[in-house]
Amino acid sequence: MKNKVPSVCILAFSVFAIVTALGGGSSRPDIYWLLFVRPVTVICLMAMLLSAKRLPWAEIQPLPLLFAAFAITIGIQLIPLPPALWHGIPGRAQYAAVAAALNGLHDWHPLSLAPDRTWNSLISLLVPFTAMVGFLILNDQQRRALLWPILGFVAFSMLLGLVQYAGGASSSFYWYSVSGRGQPIGLFANRNHQGAFLTLALPLLRVWALQAQESSSARKLRNIIGISAAAFIFVYILVLGSRAAMGLTIIGLLGAFLVQPSYGSGRLMTKRQRILIVVSLLIGVLLLTLAALNADRAETIMRIVHNNNFLETEGRVRALPTLLHIISQTFPFGTGFGSFVPVYASFEPDYLLKPTYFNNAHNDLIELTITGGLPSLLVLVAFLVWYGRAVYRSFTVSSPTSILQRAVAFSILILLLSSLGDYPLRTPFLGALFIVFTCWLAALQKKNLLENYR
């Protein structure tokens, strides 16, 4: 890969990253920020493609192929189908009755039941694709430096959240009209997304501390800063009120430890020392939790303890039978990406009706099955097979970049696990960050394989 990167490319990627971080924290398709984020994304993408002489797509295979396959699964849903074929697709009977009432029974219809929303889903892929191109234009040194802006965005989101929390529900620092007001959600509109963003930083903090090349005192200072930042993230999540983030924090702390159980100077810990560190971490977590509870600030713990009727009051759990029924009626072709809201409304039973609407399935695996059907699941399985192999190699093949590989793998895992209880990857910012992490993992794996064959 070339060592010199055109300054136009760096500037374009930087502008794209900043704009996406500041305006890409909501998954809604109707937010005003998209009127700014998407045009800037297109301009930055064109600037990078026109300025870069060549993009090393082979470095991150098979991700470009998987991304293209995913885009194709969306595009196919927009192709008009003849009436005889369309009426034979599972789950179209009740919609055929509507078409008949509108004298459109013999018209051609696309597979998607909400073509406008499916078009939006296809267009939304511009953001992660630009993130992929942006990663490819960077050389190895610049990629290693990505830790700084990522951790910087984490710090800014936490600081913004504290300002929001201090200002109360009426604070003008909440950037989205539909958001979790009264909560320290930072750059996002949802506290679960803020929690996932903070927890994925924990393994990266460990890498940042281990990368110190300065004197012994400088390395110790980085370790102190890293531990302090991790402790602050934990306390922040206690206040945040996200139960999912509480579980992800444990994954993040475990990932930070498994990145490399050492003192940061190349000297590995003994088994006894590792056990001592784990026990110390657990004690530290317990003490911080008790301190937050004593100060009546542990909103997350309060939501867990006081929710005695979880199965009866949690909307996403009560909706699960309906979601599974939709799958049984529409599989294997799905209803079309982006169509979840109107499709769910047509199946929603009376006892689940309420003044607000169910905007997502709050489980991206279920929603992907409903809207994308079998084709999208095949792409997901292919990705998970690749990801599993990459993670296995990061722990079995020793190299100078193994710690970064493991950290990135854990950050990806946190986003994937978060998607089982929410929809973080549907936000432009976390979706773009997910692509950067996967490209990073693929590039490091490719580099290690080449070095081992030499």
Q: Could you report the per-residue pLDDT of 181-226, keeping only the tens digit for each?
A: 889 999 999 999 999 999 999 999 999 988 766 566 777 788 888 8
d(C-alpha 176, C-alpha 257), whole Å? 36
Proportion of the chain above pLDDT 70, given as a percent = 84
CA 337 to chain centre: 18
d(C-alpha 31, C-alpha 29), whole Å? 6
pLDDT score of 425 more than 50:
yes
Confidence of residue 280 (pLDDT cuts 50, 70, 90): low
Note the residue count of the chain: 454
Structure tokens that stand for 379 in this block: 């792409």
Proportion of the chain above pLDDT 90, given as a percent = 52
Backbone phi and psi for residue 10, each to the nearest 5 degrees, phi listed first: -65, -45
Beta-carbon-side half-sphere exposure of residue 289 (alpha carbons within 13 Å):
13
d(C-alpha 79, C-alpha 75), whole Å? 7
The pLDDT mean for the chain works out to 85
pLDDT score of 295 more than 50:
no
* Whole-prediction pTM: 0.89
